[in-house]
Amino acid sequence: MLVVKVGGSKGIDYDAFVDDLASYKDFVLIHGGSHELNELSTRLGRPPRFVTSISGQTSRYTDLETLELFNMIYAGKMNKMLVEKFQQKGINAVGLSGLDGRLAEGRQKEALKIVEDGKKKILRGDHSGTIERINVQLLHLLLENGYTPVLTPPAISFEGTAINIDGDRFAAQVAVALGAETLIILSNVPGLLRDIEDPASLVQKISRDEVELSMNQFAKGRMKKKLMGAGEALAGGVRRVVLGSATGPSPVTRALQGEGTVIE
Amino acid sequence: MLVVKVGGSKGIDYDAFVDDLASYKDFVLIHGGSHELNELSTRLGRPPRFVTSISGQTSRYTDLETLELFNMIYAGKMNKMLVEKFQQKGINAVGLSGLDGRLAEGRQKEALKIVEDGKKKILRGDHSGTIERINVQLLHLLLENGYTPVLTPPAISFEGTAINIDGDRFAAQVAVALGAETLIILSNVPGLLRDIEDPASLVQKISRDEVELSMNQFAKGRMKKKLMGAGEALAGGVRRVVLGSATGPSPVTRALQGEGTVIE
């Protein structure tokens, strides 16, 4: 069983990605959509707002109106685009969000502690949180009957409301829940870079013990969450995590061959 | 087993609807989203285009860009809004489009023969069609495992592409496939009206044999499709179809009590 996360930053070649992944049959896909969401929000006169927590994590401020646009892009446009592409390749894909069948259940954050203009602030009205439980029975039900799950945020809170959750960590939890051997996390960068401006500074291999150190030393922005996801996957029994690029041909195959940052 | 179609015109009270339907446990829901799609299309500078076929049917011209917005509204915003509301009522809803698991498979129309400005024209690039097969195994798989399907257009063509299909006829085919006793079709009007301007002109009962006559005599616009759906459901073994309103409280219960147009 292979668990793959793709997107949703700019520059991802979804056709090449689907072409490649479709040849692997036994997989579960988790996807993103942040670039498309930024574009739609901006077109509708509501540019995205990103906030930085006091621990240095950057995240999208997700009020109820943003959540509606979020569903439109993630569960609507991106999810059905991918399901359609897989169907054309003979993969019987079923697209689900974390809300459906309470597939990804978690806790909504009470309030965000952020840093803005150098000042600490409490920000309310943010509908985001952390997954605590994957409905692995629903995944098995689909897999055992020949369906391939194509999963997307949001998740669902224990109270039954939609919450924005990180897609990389969602993928990590799915990989753990399914007992996957390998988790591949594809984005628009070649992997973890020592210097974000220099693709040649790719870190090719890190051990499980080095994940936290790497997070603090090199990782910026979204890469921090990818490493956090990688760490959670390995801690949960996944043997190997590869951070690779989905901007060219055969991105899954290349990641499986070790192209990118391999963490094991 | 109860099959219900709701929406997607203006004025539907989704909270009251979900409150009521959630008390029935054993059901499958099909929903629309046309009003919201018109609004989004217009906001994005692409007002909807409706065309009239030479047989007098009105439908949305669905080019590829419209289809993308269609997925955003139907499979994204509306579907996940309903799934979330049902989850909050303790119904373990799973939202699926007709693409997912090839739930609703059909044939794409080759070209639309339309009448515009009094002239007959051939219109190409329309991604719409008619459902020919419901994947009833997938519905049973979900129902037997405690999940409640919440279904939305689009469907999938035999070639694996998304096609816009009529939601009322989708509901009829699901009702037939599941051997449902009753199909309820709720919208923002009280049922079939002899005079569309006069709610007191409601047709309270029509027999199966009168469906086609009523379609030609009274029905305008979307009501034609509802009657067509009703006719298809009855022909397929459904015992009773009720066309009712979802603009007030307890719309499902009222329809089951015979409020609206009862066809049997």
Instruction: Report the distance separating Cα B209 and Cα B227, nearest Å.
Output: 12
Arithmetic mean of pLDDT, B81-88: 98
DSSP codes of every residue in A9-35: STT--HHHHHHHHGGG-SEEEEE--HH
Q: Both tokens of residue A172?
A: 């990590």
Arithmetic mean of pLDDT, B166-191: 97
Instruction: Report the distance separating Cα B35 and Cα B14, nearest Å.
Output: 13
ipTM above 0.85, yes or no: yes
Closest chain A residue to B69, measured at CA: A77
Predicted confidence (pLDDT) per residue in B86-121, tens digit: 999 999 999 999 999 999 999 999 888 999 889 999
HSE (side-chain half, CA atoms, 13 Å) at B2 = 17
Domains of chain B in start order, with CATH, are 2-263 (3.40.1160.10)
Burial class (CB in 10 A: 0-12, 13-18, 19+), A90: exposed
* Angstroms from A93 CA to nearest CA on chain B: 6
DSSP three-state, residue A196: coil
Closest chain B residue to A88, measured at CA: B160
For residue A76, pLDDT over 90 is answered with: yes
Radius of gyration for the alpha carbons in chain A, expressed in angstroms and rounded: 17
Q: Which residues of A touch B87 (CB under 8 A)?
A: 99, 102, 156, 160
Question: Cis ω on the peptide bond leading into residue A149 (within 30° of 0)?
Answer: no
Which residues fall within 8 angstroms of residue A9, CB to CB, at 6 or more apart?
A: A32, A34, A35, A187, A188, A222
Instruction: Report the distance separating Cα B186 and Cα A220, nearest Å.
Output: 51
Choose among A77, A5, A159: nearest CA to B79.
A77
Amino acid at A181: E
The percent helix, strand, coil of chain A (3-state, each to 5) is 40, 30, 35
Q: A75 and B76: CB-CB below 8 Å?
A: yes
Choose among B133, B68, B135: nearest CA to B96.
B135
Q: Which residue has the higher pLDDT, B220 or A147?
A: A147
Choose among B1, B86, B18, B3: nearest CA to B246.
B18
Query: What's residue B218's pLDDT?
Result: 81
The DSSP output letter for B69 is: H
* Angstroms from A164 CA to nearest CA on chain B: 13
Query: What's residue A196's pLDDT?
Result: 86
A31 bridge partner residues? A6
Q: B80 and A71: CB-CB below 8 Å?
A: yes
For residue A216, pLDDT over 90 is answered with: no
H or E, element range at B263: strand B261-263
Q: Both tokens of residue A179?
A: 């007992």
* Angstroms from A233 CA to nearest CA on chain B: 26
Predicted confidence (pLDDT) per residue in B11-55, tens digit: 999 999 999 999 998 999 999 999 999 999 999 999 999 999 888
